[in-house]
Amino acid sequence: MPLPSPATPDGTAALDRIRSDPGGAVLAFDFDGTLAPIVPDPRDARAHPGVVPALARLAPLVRAVVIVTGRPAAVAVEYGGLTGVDGIVVLGQYGRERWEADRLTVPEPPPGVALVRAELPDLLRRAGAPEGTWIEDKEHALAVHTRRAPDPGAALELLSVPLAELAERADLAVEPGRMVIELRPRGMDKGTALTEFVTALEAASLLYAGDDLGDLAAFDAVERLRGEGVAGLTVCSGSDEVAALAERADLVVAGPAGVVELLDGLSGALGA
């Protein structure tokens, strides 16, 4: 499988660095929409069938393979089929949780999460949330999904202000996504998690692939790390829903299947 060519000089330089020095490279990925296709109910999400074999081939060749997700780490491990797979780290809840070598580290959630958990059902009722709106409890965060509502975009707009007001009272941050609004602890984002991970490993290069608004923080982190000498390649797992991410990316691929093709091409280039 040939490697696709990045559209930017920075992306090209980073891919060249990854190929010439794979032992210094971190390969980082979002989960939903990047390694797993987007589905109406996120509880039904599963990794693309080519993902685990591709990551397993690459893991022994690079500094690290890491998945950075808003999901609880254990859920990403289960849905990704990662149990027993060597060499892959999962940073769940935007880095608050860590799964590595089949071991999970989970801190206590902040008190604002409990307040939101208690008040959210009544808030949705009072706001007139349409049928199909539902709450996902991630333990350290709560998300309101509207993808199954008759008009998902209108439902999201209806709920955006009351959810923002609740988040403010609970001292939580609001994270919008594809037909979802998440309330989570402040200071938790993929950019922070990615920066801490890459810096701790003293990586020389970095690939980050994502598909949604929550991945913009990771793209920002890649740009900052470039300023510190880390060659960085940003990849958008293509979607018409999130043009803002595609416009920022060094490389756009056709969804999770395109990510797998990229990984297979990289494996071939590294002799795996």
**Cα-based angle 66, 72, 73 (whole degrees, multiple of 5):** 35
- Residue found by looking up tokens 């795996």 in the block: 272
Q: How many other CB atoms are found less than 10 A from the CB of residue 208? A: 29
- Residues 166, 203: one domain? no
Q: How far is CA 267 from CA 8, 56, 60, 62, 81, in A?
A: 22, 10, 11, 10, 20
Q: Whole-angstrom Cα distance, residue 27 to residue 33?
A: 16
Q: Please report the pLDDT score of residue 241 as a whole number.
A: 67
Same domain for 167 and 42? no
Per-residue pLDDT tens, the chain, 272 aa: give them: 789 999 999 999 999 999 999 999 999 999 999 999 999 888 899 999 999 999 999 999 999 999 999 999 999 999 999 999 999 999 999 999 999 999 999 888 889 999 999 999 999 999 999 999 999 998 889 999 999 999 999 999 999 999 999 999 999 999 898 899 999 998 889 999 999 999 999 999 999 999 998 899 999 999 999 999 999 999 999 866 688 899 999 999 999 999 999 999 999 999 87
Residue 44: Cβ within 10 Å count: 10
In a domain, 105, yes or no: no
Total domains in the chain come to 2
Co-location of 149 and 216 in the same domain? no
Domain that holds residue 66: 9-96+188-269
Shared domain for 204 and 86, answered yes or no, is: yes
- The beta strands (E) that lie in 57-150 are given as 64-68, 88-92, 97-100, 103-105, 134-137, 142-145
